[in-house]
Amino acid sequence: MSENPLTTAVGQVAALLADVRERGEAASEQAQTRLVETVGSTQAKVADAQSKIAETVENTQSKLAETVGSTQSKLEARITGSRDDAQARIDEALATALAIFEEARTKLSALPVELPAEIEDLKARFSPEELRKVAEVAVGCTVGILIGDLLMVGLGRGLWQASVVLFVSVMVARFLDSGATFTMQMSLQSVLVVLLPIGTGGPFVRSQDAIVGGVLALLVTFLSPQDVRRPAVRQLGGLYDSIATVLRDLSRALRENDSRTAWMALVASRGTHTTLEALRKELRVTHEQTVFNPLHRSSRSFVEDAVNAADRSDLAVRSLRIVARRVVSVLDEGVFDDDDRERLAAWFDDAADAVEILHRSLVEPQAEGRHRSLSVARDALGASASALDPHQLGGGSVHGEALVMLLRPMMVDLIEATGAEHDEARAYLPRV
């Protein structure tokens, strides 16, 4: 009986499967063996790495502790040395400051008990406000430099030291004096001392230089050849040129019957306030220079005359603004005929000429010539004032008479600007 092919094929397949199973089991056993070997090797390497890491950490901790200990020791030694050095510098600075103060006290004690007559005269001429301003600048600079030197010796130089010095100087300044100038000078000078490099002569040389520099600056100011009147003269010229211009513009407005020109004159009169303020400022400066500097004492009479002229001219300008506003009103209403407007225009021209004479009189350099010129200006202004009769110059109308009455106090103020008394100035006006 022949063998069935199907059976043969099944047997071959079974044999093949058995062979594959044997090979898979052998490969699995081999892979498992390799896995075990790999795990064991990895565990050994991990254990070795952990050992090395622990050793490294231990070494690092030991080195760190050693470094911290060494740094702490060095820092303590440096702090101790700096503290001792700073204390020595502070002691030296205090000793130097005490020596300077003792020397100053000795020199002050050697001064005479009674002040010279010139110093007493200077003291009498200065107001408490002026003396306070001068003292704030001088003392603030000197004390600020001294505080900066003292703190710089103890703290050193740098940005944070400058901040500390600024705070201390401001606190000391506010404690000593409430003036803003004193505080500003003290704080600024102390900060500059800390920020700028130290000179070869030591820190306190700058304090001495501050005193010497202030004295030399005063001497240079006293001895320098200059005309202290020049700024005030320039402002006086601007003031009286403005007044004369307004008067001539009002004259032109009346002749042309143009209220717009009168309005522009009104606007220009309002602008004289700035000129007056600048004049008062220059006169204050000139007054201080004539008091301090013996070379400029001859200008004191000019200052007195100019101050009186500025005060009275201020009142005259205020009246002039009212007059200009009134001229605008009467021109808009058309209450004047041609003859009335011509008479008023001619008067405004004459008043402008008198104001120009007043200006030239005030700027005379010599007192005698200035007083003679002021007398001439007084007569010229008085001639204009004597024509202010409301019944004649006003044209017989209520509006014209009201305008003339407004001109009378303005002319009285201008006459008083020449140095005349009030009753003398009023005497030039015609009786109403």
Do 373 and 361 touch, CB atoms closer than 8 A?
yes
pLDDT (tens digit per residue) in 19-70:
778 887 777 788 788 887 887 777 778 777 777 887 887 887 778 777 777 7
One domain, residues 236 and 369 = yes
With a CB cutoff of 8 Å and minimum separation 6, the contacts of 184 are: 140
Q: What is the pLDDT, as a whole number, of residue 114? A: 44
Of the candidates 194, 223, 252, which is a domain's last residue?
A: 223
In a domain, 104, yes or no: no
Cα 240 to Cα 352: distance, rounded to the nearest angstrom: 9
CA separation (Å) from 91 to 84, 96, 151, 153? 10, 9, 12, 10
Of the candidates 223, 245, 271, which is a domain's last residue?
A: 223
With a CB cutoff of 8 Å and minimum separation 6, the contacts of 170 are: 183, 186, 187
One domain, residues 202 and 248 = no
In a domain, 91, yes or no: no
Of the candidates 186, 202, 223, which is a domain's last residue?
A: 223
* DSSP secondary structure of 346-363: HHHHHHHHHHHHHHHHHT
Domain, as residue range, for 185: 117-223
Q: What is the pLDDT, as a whole number, of residue 155? A: 72
In a domain, 352, yes or no: yes
* Average of per-residue pLDDT across 101-112: 56
One domain, residues 401 and 311 = yes
Range with the poorest average pLDDT among 53-57, 135-139, 237-241, 271-275: 135-139
One domain, residues 247 and 214 = no
In a domain, 46, yes or no: no
Domain count, the chain: 2
One domain, residues 299 and 418 = yes
Q: What is the pLDDT, as a whole number, of residue 263? A: 92
One domain, residues 350 and 265 = yes
One domain, residues 382 and 401 = yes
pLDDT (tens digit per residue) in 292-322:
655 666 677 788 888 888 889 899 999 999 9
One domain, residues 310 and 173 = no
Query: CA angle, corner 330, sides to 326 and 333, nearest 5?
Result: 140
One domain, residues 198 and 133 = yes
One domain, residues 329 and 403 = yes
One domain, residues 286 and 394 = yes
